[in-house]
Chain A
């Protein structure tokens, strides 16, 4: 058990180092001289020299990389070129907003996906199952940047029930959470259905039914618990979808999260902020996936062996 956890922690550290390095290299993708792109053509040579020094771009790339890692290990992300604020302060509130939206989207996903998937599996091949499959196919094909505007058109403009955008008004989170959560709910429904179908044909379920347990108890305690592992893995992976999808959803609804900050910073050519946002989002994704993996290992000894 401890060996399993240590191996996973070690590979987590290795991947995290790789992710940090790739994010570091992203800045070097900017065509031409990044300093000139960031400051524009009107900047004086002195300004350019100062920015180049403060970003460390006058150093060899290996030194830049080592310094970047050193700063990160002290929790420093640099400062914004646009507002001159430390990036750590800039992102704190944004992280909270994105976490709130992500949590709401996961709630939507589970609230729809779990019962619908279980229901579809119990009614395999019948009307509810076919309806669920058709609905999930539709939901998985709808681009979020169309679903969002359509929800606004229906619920905000036509019916006037919910605010169009922002975060200030009550209920403002509903539409972005639905936009982000509905495609996830569809994927979760499919996964729940598939793993429930696999479990439902097992011998121990026949035994449970044969000894006269109430159907609800058979479904929840015997079937769902055994089907939980792949479902958890999907939920862990979905968080990645949430974080990446949040970029587009937050832009549509002007939700002041990390995703919106990423796009604003790209438009402002505030590349250190872009770098920081990408780093935070991808590291969260890496850590959550590793945590899901370890949790699966704790719950199921078979995973530990693999």
Chain B
């Protein structure tokens, strides 16, 4: 593993640990303190204070917790639902598969961000609706991949054998198909993490995500841009945190992709 990939892993583990342990840290993200309004970073408060005098460090940790929470729900949920739809379509084939394929075409025809913004906007703000909107947009990537992979695995001999032996379809899918398509799906999910972090922050930046006083990287950035002239730390701090997360996710995703060379995975497939 390269030094950059190791650093990225360290950043992501640090993010997860900080977010998970946040309740134990006795943070005061909502403590308004008028004398400290827009105080720049100092030794006493190492990331400074925001426009209501709330400590930026505490808010940042809570914001990281928000993005971890959203990633932790959206990525598994969309991967599982997408994989289920994709595998079912490939297994059943025929009209059902054709309908699913057209549905996927329609979802893929939208720029993802646009659909997420429109859905979150119409559903109304709040973290629950962010999760719904992002899942509704991301399932299709997993479904497409699972469908293509399942098509290739479906015709393999061990699956034929299981069928001939009378194994029920759910058991075949679960025990003989899913394990073979899990690696590319996991890869896709790893790459999806960065997208979900960014999308959550983007929706909150537009005011469509997490609502105040809850902290989110996007909402912190939006507040920060309003006071950019007088308190640049308010926009620099959450921005750097988001940039570090995105860089770490992308670097690690690249490294993983390099390791799981798609050509090697393809060579496992039988010639069609």
Contacts and interface: CB of A to CB of B under 8 A. Distances in A.
Interface of A: 11, 14-15, 18-19, 21-22, 26-27, 29-31, 137-138, 140-143, 145-146, 149-150, 152-153, 157, 240-241, 243-245, 247-248, 251-252, 262-263, 266-267, 271, 274, 278, 281-282, 285-286, 289
B243 A31 contact: no
B250 interface: yes
21 contacts: A15-B109, A19-B110, A22-B110, A29-B119, A30-B123, A31-B123, A137-B250, A137-B251, A143-B198, A145-B222, A149-B221, A149-B224, A149-B225, A149-B239, A247-B117, A248-B206, A267-B207, A278-B114, A282-B114, A285-B111, A286-B109
B70 interface: no
Given A11-B105, A274-B121, 7 more contacts: A30-B124, A141-B243, A141-B247, A146-B235, A146-B242, A153-B228, A278-B118
A248 B225 contact: no
A9 to B, nearest CB: 15
Interface string B220-242: 01101100110010010001001
A244 B122 contact: no
Contact of A247 (B106, B114, B218, B254): B114
B243 A285 contact: no
Contacts, number: 125
A31 B119 CA distance: 11
A19 B242 contact: no
Nearest to A27: B122
A29 B109 contact: no
Contact of B225 (A27, A137, A252, A282): A252
A263 B209 CA distance: 13
Given A143-B202, A153-B228, A281 B111 contact: yes
Nearest to A267: B207
B202 A26 contact: no
B201 A244 contact: no
B109 A282 contact: yes
Interface of B: 102-103, 105-107, 109-115, 117-119, 121-124, 194, 198, 201-202, 205-208, 218, 221-222, 224-225, 228-229, 232, 235, 239, 242-243, 246-247, 250-251, 254
Given A146-B239, A149-B224, A282 B110 contact: yes
Contacts of A243: 111, 114
A143 B246 contact: yes
Given A149-B221, A263-B206, A282-B114, A157 B109 contact: no
Contacts of B201: 143, 145
Given A26-B122, A30-B122, A141 B102 contact: no
A241 B113 CA distance: 8
Given A141-B247, A145-B218, A26 B109 contact: no
Nearest to B247: A141
A282 B229 CA distance: 36
Given A15-B105, A31-B124, A141 B111 contact: no
Given A138-B247, A152-B228, A18 B235 contact: no
Nearest to B124: A31
Contact of A145 (B110, B205, B247): B205
B246 A141 contact: yes
A285 to B, nearest CB: 6
